[in-house]
Structures are given as structure tokens and as C-alpha cells.
Structure 1
């Protein structure tokens, strides 16, 4: 059995903000900067993928250009699924800011959950306006709406290593 897999009977809330406040210090600020780093990374990856699709379109006599239709949503979705759902449980922006994501009982997120996490983030921002981000001001672990819905927690990575 993997170290990340916790049997259902042993699952309990692993990260209490009152017991370990160091896990949640300056989370909001770090998440904002991590988001900005990831936006830049996704933008660069999308630009590189667009150049690739352009040349594929030339070689396929225009058929490859159909990929331009899915390029916008596909790149950030794959980026998040592979990085946040990977072994580090953090996107490159999150790693740069010293953040990590865990499920409420301590396990690391898997790729499908990471993809759903980013989709819920964008849908909640689109439908409920950015004011939904204010929820973190009232949450003990500074969680956002999509974190609460999915049972995920973003926290400082360094105290987890201790």
C-alpha cells in the first residue's frame, strides 16, 4: 500500500489550523503569486504549442489547424493535471512559492482531481465573480470555494517536511 493511500477507517482531518498554524501562514499571498507564475508558464506553453500546431497544420494541408480550437483549454488542463496531480502535489508556481496541495485527510491529489480542481476554479470565478475568492477571509485554513467542494487544502510545504 502506498504511503499516500490512507485506509477509509483511518481518514481524519489531518491539518488543523489551530494545532499547526505555520501550515497556513501567508497562504493567500503565496497563492496569488503562484497563480501569476503559472499563468505565465501556461501562456508560454500555449504559445509554443500554437507554433507546433501551425507547422503540423502546414504538413497536414490544414487539417492540423483544427487543434487550435482545443489549444486554449487543453494546455492549462494538462499542465495542472500533470503538475498538481503529480508526485510533488504542486504546480511549478506553487513549488516556487513553497506551497503544496493535499486532500483533507493527508493524501496527495491525483491527476483527475487536479484537472477538476482547475475547472471548478475557472467555473466558480466565471459564474460567481471573483468575489468568491473572499471566502478565504472567513475560512480557518484560508480555503477557496473549489477547495472546500473538493476537500483539498493548500498549505506551506516546508512545515510538512518537519
Structure 2
């Protein structure tokens, strides 16, 4: 059970930060490609698809994180740094829980200008506020 195995949390804060930077880079590169494709579609439809394109591009980061967390338990950045997201009992997160964790992350970060992420420095198991609210843990895959 992850809640009782301290070795699962060794170095999680640094790994988690670096994993997020990798994911931001992937999101940006794929987002640019998506934006280019949507701009072509918008031009071909004389701007009719432009409002939909704006919605798609704004939801793109949420879709990226939710998909990988729900289907694989970790984003590519998290996998690179040997991390995964689990529920409190140690099981894989449910799809709805992955979406909830992602939305809570973006909402809390947007409302506090990233300051809320300092919570990981003061909680056991290095949990952020969105982890606590969603009932999740970020742990090492192979401690």
C-alpha cells in the first residue's frame, strides 16, 4: 500500500517538477502542430471552425494529462522520471479521478499563480492540494 511505504516518495518533488517540464514541452510542441492544423481547417472553412479551434486548443493540456493519467497511470514526463499516479489505496486511478485531478491542478494553479504548489513542501508524501482533493498520490514506480 503506497500510503505506508516511505521509499515510494523518495525524490518525488524534484522528479515531479522535471516531469512536468517535459510534459509542458510535449504539450507545446503537439499544441503548435494542432494549432497549425486547426488554423488550416479554419481558413478552409472561412473562419467557421475558428471558435471550435479555440475551445480545442484551450482544452488540449487537460485532455493530454487526463488521457495519460487515466489510461497509463502516468504522463510521458512522469514515466521518464519513474513516477505514476495512484489512488490512496495504491490502485490505478479511475478515469474520472484522473480528469478530476487534472482539472483541480489547473484550477488551483490558475487561482494562486503557482503558489499552491508549495504545499508539497509541507505535506507528508509530498502531496499537492489537487492530490489531496482528488484522493491521489504520486509515487515512484520502482523505488
TM-score greater than 0.5 by the shorter chain:
yes
Cα RMSD between the aligned structures? 1.5
Question: Which has more radius of gyration?
Answer: 1
Corresponding residue for 1:102? 86
Ranges of 4+ aligned residues in structure 1 off by more than 3 Å: none
Corresponding residue for 1:32? 17
TM-score normalised to the size of structure 1? Answer: 0.81
Alpha-carbon distance between aligned partners in 2 of 1:66 and 1:128, rounded to the nearest angstrom:
28
**1:120–1:43 distance in 2 versus 1, CA, 3 Å:** same
Which of 99, 102, 116 in structure 2 is aligned with 1:115? 99
Corresponding residue for 2:35? 50
Higher helix share: 2
* Number of residue pairs matched by the alignment: 143
Query: Displacement, 1:138?
Result: 1.9
Mind listing any 5+ residue stretches in structure 2 that lack a counterpart?
none
Q: Does 1:71 align with 2:56?
A: yes
Provide the secondary structure at the position in 2 that maps to 1:84. helix
Query: Displacement, 1:114?
Result: 1.7
**1:117–1:61 distance in 2 versus 1, CA, 3 Å:** same
Alpha-carbon distance between aligned partners in 2 of 1:70 and 1:32, rounded to the nearest angstrom:
27
**Contact 2:35-2:57 at 8 Å conserved across structures:** no
TM-score normalised to the size of structure 2? Answer: 0.91
Corresponding residue for 2:45? 60
